[in-house]
Amino acid sequence: MARARAKAIEYVEPIGARVLVRKDEPKRETKGGIALPDQAEIPTITGRIVTISAQVENDEDVPLRQYDKILFHPKDAIPVDFDPDNQLFVVPVEDVVAVFRREALPDKTSLDDED
């Protein structure tokens, strides 16, 4: 009987104080509908954290979690070449400049009941 070959899964695990980020698609026009030229690049970009390193996961001073949307400076970001159309980058934690957070607003009716 022929033995089935186990399929290997290839993945990227960041080492040290780094995170793996999937870069958001660049915006081609503003909210007002103004088209941006290709040369109009802003050096800070956004993306979602795909994976965090063990060092980041265990560091209470670094408030980053998997799937967080972040704003990062791409200067030291290292592109990961899995597929030609991928947007993966290994980003040092010090280049993460902001994390987008969302909180539910309190229900206005519950605030009125407290009076």
Superfamily of structural domain 13-25+42-101: GroES chaperonin (2.30.33.40)
> Does 42 score more than 60 pLDDT?
no
- Looking at residue 25, its pLDDT comes to 76
Domain locations along the chain: 13-25+42-101
What percent of the chain shows pLDDT beyond 90?
Answer: 47
One-letter-per-residue 3-state SS of the chain: CCCCCCCCCCCCCCCCCEEEEEECCCCCECCCCCECCCCCCCCCEEEEEEEECHHHHCCCCCCCCCCCEEEECHHHCEECCCCCCCCEEEEEHHHEEEEECCCCCCCHHHHHHCC
Instruction: Quote the pTM value.
Output: 0.70
